[in-house]
A = this chain, B = another copy of it.
């Protein structure tokens, strides 16, 4: 659906407009006029002839010229008929402010379904219901009743702001514009009956007025759509910055009763954001300050940061933050050092952070002189200018030095000003410039961190991304015979057949129907061997006593055989034993785990972690959506805390990382190919050996969907 009529309307119809400026309809009209919307405004209310000097129409149908958007603030029970009327009158889009839908539970959900149907029937995009509307800052289309619009004027800019929460969005807008950060459009998506945040993101990807998209989100409805939009944004190089709320379980509950949005597990969102290059922030102020930094469109080539400060303490605080986040505060080049020494002979020590000390009070030109040399240093990819205490006119002078000197470089130059009201002449000047301004050094460092990581991601994307493993989808039909017709567990031997077909190394093993077969198989494989029961009813073999390791000879094999048969029939008298698996005993290696799970929003997700206590107890694992690229696989491996153990500690050699990557790619393809068949897969343990020695899947568990359509 084309959102242009909704976002950039030439003609607006206001339904249910009221004389009372405290009611929704009255407020929207007031704001449209006070902010100077230049398009046509049609009012619809059969009760009046005219309102505020504008003619009132009895119905949408009676408006003589085309309408781009209908603004609907009527009581909830009247919404369907008004929307229907809009559809019939060929109105191109609608915003529904009215509440009383899915946010109230099941009953409201049904009513909301009607909105969806009408929208579909007429191909008419709808924003809301239960939203505060849309505000165009460039075209002054203030189609909202948010009290935010009480501000005297809208400051246009290049940041699009999407908020699922309308009231909060409006309030945040007020703070954003207080510090002169410009906005292209604000959208409150409300209950998202039709259009959701991703749809607006998609629109802004092609909006020339928008260079950065920021969103305050409680959840994503259509995970695939979100991933597609994020992928397109990444290819286009337009940053999407998200504050995802409802992270904790209790928080999510609050979220779902709020806008009726389904919120997924936070670990899944985190993985999706990383995989698709979405910038995630953790706090409200970081959301708009980071967006502001991105809107300056200066991207660092690396993570080396120079700090120019007028106070030692400021340098220390910034250095702490930068280092903790993985950036560096490198030495300056010898050239810079000698130039600085020449420019300011009084300096004690020339280094990074460069502390100009109280010296600048006596010699104000020391500041631009030093900064000019500093920003050009080839060891630096970005510069932070930290200002402590400078008041009044002096602060304006200082600010103009910063703004002018920043123009001499293409590197990002950010500035943190520690003082408040006393520095206002200076900070106001910076707010209007290309230098992002911060009141908090920590937020400054975090914004720069996002810039650094985003740039690194863009750079890496330009290099080869590494292909995903070839899909075996077409071949997958051959597995039909081994898939259970209804939900259940795949036996280990069948699971390994599938792993093998995807090129994931598995243990040598043979299914044996009786002891004689087992004996022959053991001789062929060679003692020692393991013996494992194969039964669809036995999900966890150890628990059922269905597993014996390290069998050294025939006598032990017989004993094990008999013990397992007895144990399993005791454990579950109805267990159908298909045979016993004779399996090679593998050499000891490091235990890793691959897992897969179907996420309701995003679909197939792959998990990677270390065996033993690491995944289960220490919760140390990484996640990605399947299928993934080779780079994703490497990132998954490096992301876990236990990565160091794979690299080798206490003289251990590093493991065969390439083998893990290859198998992870193959596994992710398997998981994607069979996403409708398996609800969960575990390969646990996978033993990985040292460099070039590969890995081997020792056990696996495939759980099928009850209603799969393989």
Where the two chains meet, the residues of A that have a C-beta atom closer than 8 Å to any C-beta of B are 99, 103-105, 146-148, 150-151, 163-165, 167-172, 174-175, 178, 216, 218, 245-252, 254-255, 257-259, 282-285, 310-317, 319-320, 323-324, 329, 348-349, 351, 353, 355, 357-358, 388-392, 417-423, 439-442, 613, 616-618, 641-642, 644-645, 649-650
- Among A245, A258, A313, A348, the most chain B Cβ lie within 10 Å of the Cβ of A313
Contact (Cβ within 8 A) B285 A440: yes
5 inter-chain pairs at a CB distance below 8 angstroms, sorted by A residue, are: A218-B316, A247-B324, A248-B319, A250-B323, A255-B316
How far is A442 from B443 in the complex, measured between Cα atoms in Å?
13
Contact of A422 among B104, B147, B282, B388 (CB under 8 A): B147
Nearest CB on B from A348, distance (A)? 6
By beta carbon, the residue of chain B nearest A642 is: B618
Top 4 closest pairs, chain A to chain B, by CB: A165-B313, A258-B312, A171-B418, A171-B419
Nearest CB on B from A114, distance (A)? 20
How far is A170 from B314 in the complex, measured between Cα atoms in Å?
12
With A167-B388, A311-B167, A388-B171 given, is the CB distance from A316 to B150 under 8 Å?
Answer: no
- Contact partners of A174 in chain B: CB under 8 A: 389, 419-423
Contact of A283 among B315, B421, B442 (CB under 8 A): B442
With A168-B314, A245-B317, A439-B175 given, is the CB distance from A151 to B422 under 8 Å?
Answer: yes
With A353-B254, A645-B613 given, is the CB distance from A167 to B313 under 8 Å?
Answer: yes
Contact of A389 among B147, B316, B442 (CB under 8 A): B147
- Contact partners of A172 in chain B: CB under 8 A: 418-419
- Among A151, A311, A392, the most chain B Cβ lie within 10 Å of the Cβ of A311
How far is A258 from B168 in the complex, measured between Cα atoms in Å?
42
How far is A478 from B246 in the complex, measured between Cα atoms in Å?
62
Contact of A313 among B168, B249, B357 (CB under 8 A): B168
- Contact partners of A171 in chain B: CB under 8 A: 311, 388-389, 417-420, 423
How far is A392 from B148 in the complex, measured between Cα atoms in Å?
11
Contact (Cβ within 8 A) B419 A389: no
Contact (Cβ within 8 A) B150 A392: yes
Contact (Cβ within 8 A) B358 A99: yes
How far is A250 from B316 in the complex, measured between Cα atoms in Å?
8
Contact (Cβ within 8 A) B248 A283: no
By beta carbon, the residue of chain B nearest A266 is: B320
Nearest CB on B from A417, distance (A)? 8
- Contact partners of A150 in chain B: CB under 8 A: 391-392, 422
- Contact partners of A175 in chain B: CB under 8 A: 418-420, 439
Contact (Cβ within 8 A) A254 B315: yes
By beta carbon, the residue of chain B nearest A248 is: B323
Contact of A165 among B254, B311, B422 (CB under 8 A): B311
- Contact partners of A388 in chain B: CB under 8 A: 165, 167-168, 170-171
